[in-house]
């Protein structure tokens, strides 16, 4: 066991090699500058439930620029003079972007706040309503993206062909690089915590670090399945997920499920590692082989009471449109389900050269 620990802890998970996941549609067509301006990456969140308009929880649809979701939470706590547990949100959004997402703040029923006074150079309240329950992580239905790619060195015809293929066949549902932290720091720390059986006082941070490890293992299995030509093939015992749902089942009769698989009514999945693996037979053997060198990490996750969860192997963008502004600039608009990363779709098109804007920059471009 000691040798396994040493091998696992020395594995180069924190290097750039850990981001070289297999692509589904071939090598990138070229390069593109990404996030040259804040307005080059715009995200709008849609919740999976309707707001009642009544209750103690003030729901705020907030536009933020060049700050992360946690900073908005801290601003709300200070402004409304509430406890951290009184503030909720459904998911974290990119810092280097213009994002619009919901937050909830619980207040006494008779207390009123002029939320317009919360606005500053970084945040703006676009809509206010009420609801009877706090906003919880995972309550997102979908995210809408408006993205501009600049300085492309590929033809519009080739771009369209690849984009059409992605729309029809989907793209690998990889967790994006941001999940692993700056230069893989979250991944490295998460592995260290597991191997050395450490605990952090900050449970939220600890959960984030463990999530980075599970995300890496998921990406690894997806990459291996693509690499071995199995991303469009059912294996005996595959755990598949119903399209548009988080529910699924084990495939016992491939021939009976093949028509639904071809129509993308059911989707292949890959594991978020933990105890109680869900696939069986051939599919279970395949995943076990993929993860054989990481068994120590999986055992440690199981000891932390993580049960295996499943995530769809592919993602299909919806409502996709593109508009070329000139020969080297294109805007993409599309919807992705919750948890999907726009960068995982874009990497199937081009190699992204990211130019993050500096703090406090102005941006008056509106398209």
d(CA 244, CA 144): 16
Instruction: Give CA separation, 214 vs 186, 205, 207, 298, 311, in Å.
Output: 11, 14, 11, 9, 11
DSSP-based three-state secondary structure for 6: helix
Query: CB neighbours (10 Å) of residue 125?
Result: 17
The answer to whether residues 212 and 191 touch, using CB atoms and an 8 Å cutoff, is no
DSSP-based three-state secondary structure for 276: coil
Return the percent helix, strand and coil in the chain, to nearest 5: 35, 25, 40
Is residue 86 annotated as part of the catalytic site, yes or no?
no
Place of tokens 């850990």: 18
| β-strand partners of 269 | 312
- How many angstroms separate the most distant Cα atoms in the chain? 62
The closest alpha carbon to 238, from 287, 289, 194, 204, belongs to 287
> What is the CB-side half-sphere exposure of residue 26 using CA atoms within 13 A?
9
Tell whether the torsion through CA atoms of 297, 301, 303 and 309 is positive or negative.
negative
d(CA 41, CA 65): 10
Catalytic residue from among 40, 86, 94, 238: 94
Residues designated catalytic: 94
């Amino acid at each position: 066991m000691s040798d396994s620990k040493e091998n696992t802890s020395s594995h180069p998970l924190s290097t750039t090699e850990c981001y070289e996941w297999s692509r589904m549609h071939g090598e990138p067509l070229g390069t593109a500058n990404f996030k040259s301006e804040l307005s080059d990456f715009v995200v709008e969140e849609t919740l999976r439930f309707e707001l009642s308009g009544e209750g103690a929880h003030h729901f705020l649809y907030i536009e933020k620029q060049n700050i992360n979701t946690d900073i908005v939470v801290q601003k709300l706590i200070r402004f409304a003079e509430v406890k951290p547990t009184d503030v909720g949100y459904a998911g974290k959004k990119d810092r280097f972007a213009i994002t619009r997402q919901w937050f909830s703040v619980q207040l006494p029923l008779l207390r009123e706040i002029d939320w317009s006074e919360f606005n500053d150079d970084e945040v703006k309240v676009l809509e206010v309503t009420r609801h009877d329950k706090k906003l919880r992580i995972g309550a997102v239905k979908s995210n809408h993206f408006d993205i501009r790619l600049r300085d492309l060195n590929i033809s519009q015809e080739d771009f369209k062909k690849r984009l059409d293929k992605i729309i029809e066949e989907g793209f690998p549902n990889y967790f994006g690089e941001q999940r692993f932290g700056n230069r893989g720091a979250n991944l490295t720390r998460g592995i260290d915590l597991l191997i050395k059986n450490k605990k952090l006082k900050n449970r939220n941070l600890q959960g984030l670090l463990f999530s980075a490890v599970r995300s890496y293992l998921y990406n690894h299995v997806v990459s291996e399945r693509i690499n071995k030509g199995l991303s469009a093939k059912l294996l005996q015992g595959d755990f598949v997920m119903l399209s548009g749902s988080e529910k699924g089942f084990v495939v016992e009769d491939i021939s009976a499920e093949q028509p639904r698989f071809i129509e993308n009514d059911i989707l292949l999945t890959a594991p978020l590692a933990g105890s109680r693996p869900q696939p069986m037979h051939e599919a279970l053997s395949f995943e076990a082989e993929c993860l054989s060198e990481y068994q120590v990490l999986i055992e440690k996750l199981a000891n932390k009471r993580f049960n295996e969860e499943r995530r769809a192997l592919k993602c299909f963008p919806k409502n996709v449109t593109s508009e070329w502004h000139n020969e080297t600039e294109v805007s993409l608009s599309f919807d992705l389900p919750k948890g999907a990363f726009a960068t995982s779709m874009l990497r199937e098109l081009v190699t992204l050269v990211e130019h993050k804007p500096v703090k406090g920059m102005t941006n008056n471009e509106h398209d």
